[in-house]
C-alpha cells in the first residue's frame, strides 16, 4: 500500500503539485500518531498472518515502505517521517537479517526452516526486493544522516552473501542456498540483485573484481 506512493511523491517533486501526496501524508500522519508496537513474529493461521503486518515484518516490506517515508521527509522538510523509517527499518533488519549468511529471512516462520540439503531457506526474490531497495534508500538519505554508513554497511554485507549464493550459470535460485530445490531460473530475483550489484559497482561501493564479474555473468542470464 505504501509502495505506490513513490509515484505520487515523484509527481509532486517534478511538478510542485502537493495535492499528489496529500492522501499519503494523511495516512502517514495517522501512523505517526498511533504507531504499532506489536511483535514482528508472523503467525500463520488459516491464511491469516496475524497483526505483524501492521509493521514491516516480512522482507518484501523493506522495498515497499522505508524509502517512501524517506521521500516524504525530503519533500516536506519534516524529519519525523525519515526518523520513523529509520527506526522501523533497523528493527526489521535486526530481526530478519542473518549476519552469518548475509541474507534476509522472508519472515519469522523461516527461522527454523531447512531445505532438502539441510541449509536454511532464504527466498531469492525476497532478498532481491531488499537488495534493490537499499540503493534507493541510500540515494534518498541526506548525505549527513547519522545512519547512512549503517545502510552502506548493510548493503555490502548483503552483497557479499548474494554473490556467494550466485549459481554457476549466473542466476540466483528461488531458494538461495539450495539451487537444486527448484532448478528454474528466478529471473525476478536475478533482475533485482543484478541491479543492486551494478549500482554498487558503478558508484564505487563494491570495488572487488568479483562483483563486476557477478554482474556481467548475471546480465547474460537476463539478456
Give the residue numbers marked as catalytic: 60
Phi, psi of 75 (to 5 degrees): -80, -40
Phi-psi region of 165 (alpha: psi -120 to 50; beta: other; left: phi over 0): alpha
3-state secondary structure of 179: coil
Do residues 191 and 128 lie in contact, with contact meaning Cβ atoms separated by under 8 Å?
yes
Do residues 102 and 161 lie in contact, with contact meaning Cβ atoms separated by under 8 Å?
yes
3-state secondary structure of 123: strand
CA 64/CA 70 separation, integer angstroms = 12
Phi-psi region of 118 (alpha: psi -120 to 50; beta: other; left: phi over 0): left
Amino acid at each position: 500500500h505504501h509502495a505506490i506512493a513513490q509515484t505520487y511523491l515523484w509527481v509532486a517533486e517534478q511538478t510542485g503539485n502537493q495535492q499528489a501526496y496529500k492522501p499519503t501524508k494523511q495516512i502517514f500522519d495517522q501512523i505517526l500518531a498511533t504507531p504499532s508496537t506489536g511483535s514482528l513474529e508472523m503467525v500463520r493461521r488459516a491464511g491469516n498472518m496475524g497483526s505483524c503486518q501492521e509493521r514491516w515484518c516480512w522482507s518484501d516490506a523493506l522495498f515497499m515502505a522505508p524509502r517512501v517515508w524517506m521521500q516524504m521527509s525530503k519533500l516536506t522538510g519534516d524529519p519525523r517521517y525519515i526518523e520513523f523509517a529509520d527506526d522501523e527499518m533497523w528493527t526489521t533488519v535486526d530481526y530478519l537479517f542473518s549476519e552469518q549468511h548475509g541474507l534476509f529471512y522472508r519472515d519469522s516462520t523461516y527461522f527454523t526452516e531447512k531445505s532438502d540439503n539441510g541449509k536454511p531457506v532464504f527466498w531469492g526474490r525476497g532478498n532481491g526486493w531488499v537488495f534493490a531497495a537499499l540503493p534507493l534508500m541510500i540515494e534518498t538519505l541526506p548525505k549527513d544522516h547519522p545512519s547512512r554508513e549503517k545502510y552502506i554497511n548493510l548493503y555490502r554485507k548483503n552483497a557479499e552473501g548474494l554473490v556467494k549464493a550466485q549459481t554457476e550459470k549466473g542466476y540466483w535460485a528461488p531458494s538461495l542456498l539450495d539451487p537444486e530445490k527448484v532448478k528454474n531460473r528466478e529471473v525476478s530475483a536475478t533482475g533485482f540483485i543484478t541491479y543492486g550489484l551494478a549500482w554498487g559497482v558503478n558508484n564505487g561501493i563494491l570495488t572487488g573484481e568479483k562483483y563486476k564479474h557477478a554482474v556481467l555473468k548475471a546480465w547474460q542470464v537476463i539478456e
